[in-house]
Amino acid sequence: MRLASLKRGGRDGTLVAVSSDGARVAAVAGYPTLQAALDDWDAAQGALGDAVAAAETGEAVSLEDFAAPLPRAWQWLDGSAFPNHGALMQLALGHAPIETDLPLMYQGMSHRFIGPADDVQLPSEADGIDFEGEFAVVTGDVPMGCPAAEALGHVRLLMLVNDWSLRAIAPVEMKTGFGWIQAKPACSAAPFAVTPDELGEAWRDGRVCLPLTVEVDGRWFGHPNGSAMGYGFHELIAHAARTRALPAGTIIGSGTVSNADYDEVGSTCISERRAIEMIASGKAETPFLSFGTRVSMRGGAGASPFGRTDQRVVRG
């Protein structure tokens, strides 16, 4: 099933099920928000199933009607699970490899996720405005110490996320050793959160094995595949839950989707493209974003199961 949140109904939106063509929706009886359904997932299945059936002849909607699936979430834990991305950044910037066999992850801002057609308001072009295309999972309640072998049983939904980043601020914050605050504003999300069965064989080994396509002002930027994660989502969940339980509604991101054949498939963030340029010629040429630029993302080779984002970057 595909679930979404309409903008109406308050700060957490109104939960709806989505038709197979993504153009119609139906409310879910007894569950006003997606968080309410996640908190009561097993009991909610009957109402969710009824809403999915009703959505086929339900209310017509457009992309602008949708908030993010979870307009605010209990947790946003973002990984960096694509080894090619890390290797390119280290080589271009002259950084030593991070000596660890653990997944890389930080806890970011979760009290707001931006809707798929909403303007992205940021304070200054001088901050180095960048996008990062990621796949993500939404969990149910995960007990502390959950092993990776059991972690996929706690995955409720899959999402597509744009993790906006401010590259001029990030190095300064990283040097403090305390992690990111200013360099990581609110993320955006594609409108539909989908149950894993919606992806069929494209959901395997804890990975979303689909291309993630990015366009900037209508021009192709990249479409690398999510299958290349060095750690699957089951391993990211187990890592996050090692010393604490995770509440239902935790969102865990894959990190920037990146493939070794970047010459053919491109990238999902400007910073990686600039790293590739630096490695090739010693000079980064692709600029970061200017106000008025439009960025869109979708997942899949054909119709995107997640829907799409289509957003302008504007001065806040």
- Stretch among 76-85, 162-171, 174-183, 290-299 having the lowest mean pLDDT: 174-183
Structure tokens at 82: 């694509």
Mean pLDDT along residues 146-173: 97
pLDDT (tens digit per residue) in 236-272: 999 999 999 999 999 999 999 999 999 999 999 999 9
The pLDDT score that the predictor gives to residue 100 is 87
Tell me the three state secondary structure of residue 81.
coil
- State yes or no: pLDDT of 217 exceeds 90: yes
* Structural domain boundaries in the chain: 1-67, 68-315
Question: Which bin fits 43, alpha (ψ -120 to 50), beta or left (φ > 0)?
Answer: alpha
Contact 55, 68 (CB under 8 A): no
**Pairing state between β 250-253 and 75-79:** parallel
What's the pLDDT band for 174 if we cut at 50, 70, 90?
Answer: confident
Task: Specify the CATH number of the domain 68-315.
Answer: 3.90.850.10
Structure tokens at 192: 């539909």
